[in-house]
Amino acid sequence: MCLGIPAQVVELIDAELQLAKVDVSGVRRVVNVALLGGEIAVGDWVLLHVGFALSRIDEQEALATRELLESLGAPYEQELHELRASRI
């Protein structure tokens, strides 16, 4: 299952390649932020799907979405497992 999951930007890696490091429930990955139009900052929340930040979301929405996803149990845990195993 591929979910759009909330992630928080923890580091801007490369402005030219438009890469940032995000945190998803304790899992950190480098993702592409090009679809956000170049305006991203540490602390921003984004909706993440297959290594791409699709849109910015506010913290309240991010936390509510994460709570909902966590309530799904196994599908969300599988998504986190796949995220841990992926390399960008």
pLDDT band at residue 1 using 50, 70 and 90 as cut-offs: very low
Q: What are the residues whose beta carbons fall under 8 Å from the beta carbon of 53, sequence distance 6 or more?
A: 7, 20, 22, 31, 32, 33, 35, 36, 40, 46, 47
Per-residue pLDDT at 37: 85
Question: Any bridge partners for residue 7, and if so which?
Answer: 46
Per-residue pLDDT at 12: 95
pLDDT tens-digit map of 25-83: 888 999 999 999 878 999 999 999 888 999 999 999 988 888 888 787 787 777 777 77
Q: Kindly report the pTM of this predicted structure.
A: 0.80
* Domains along the chain with CATH numbers: 5-85 (2.30.30.140)
pLDDT band at residue 18 using 50, 70 and 90 as cut-offs: very high
Per-residue pLDDT at 70: 79
